[in-house]
Amino acid sequence: IAGITQAPTSQILAAGRRMTLRCTQDMRHNAMYWYRQDLGLGLRLIHYSNTAGTTGKGEVPDGYSVSRANTDDFPLTLASAVPSQTSVYFCASSDQAGGYNEQFFGPGTRLTVL
């Protein structure tokens, strides 16, 4: 059982390029999340999806888009990358949104935008 996988593990990207970070879970969880983690700021929610076919904006959604075509996959797209999007990106999932529902995190993608 893999849990949550993310790809790529790391990436160096030129500013202005388009980039999609992939996230797949095999736990049949309804809810999925994208966070970025920056030193001194902790994890911040970018976008979320409570169930397949629905998405919502988190705390820092600008410059990012997501889609949830099925239960397992939740890709994050940077349409035109900027240096301030240099960060470590974590995808997470939980059985349900809210309440005592532990979030399981993927291994992360380290993205550098030059």
Partner 1 sequence: GQNIDQPTEMTATEGAIVQINCTYQTSGFNGLFWYQQHAGEAPTFLSYNVLDGLEEKGRFSSFLSRSKGYSYLLLKELQMKDSASYLCAVMADDYKLSFGAGTTVTVRA
Which residues have C-beta within 8 Å of that of residue 22, sequence separation ≥ 6?
Answer: 6, 7, 8, 73, 75
Both tokens assigned to 75: 């890709």
> Least distance in Å: CB of 80 to partner 1?
26
Q: Which is nearer to partner 1, 17 or 57 (CB)?
A: 57
Quick note: the x/- pattern for partner 1 over 6-35, rule CB under 8 A, is -----------------------------x
Q: Which is nearer to partner 1, 9 or 14 (CB)?
A: 9
Please pick, from the candidates 7, 44, 65, 95, the single residue that binds partner 1 as defined by CB under 8 A.
44
The region that residue 42 occupies, defined by phi over 0 for left and psi between -120 and 50 for alpha, beta otherwise, is left
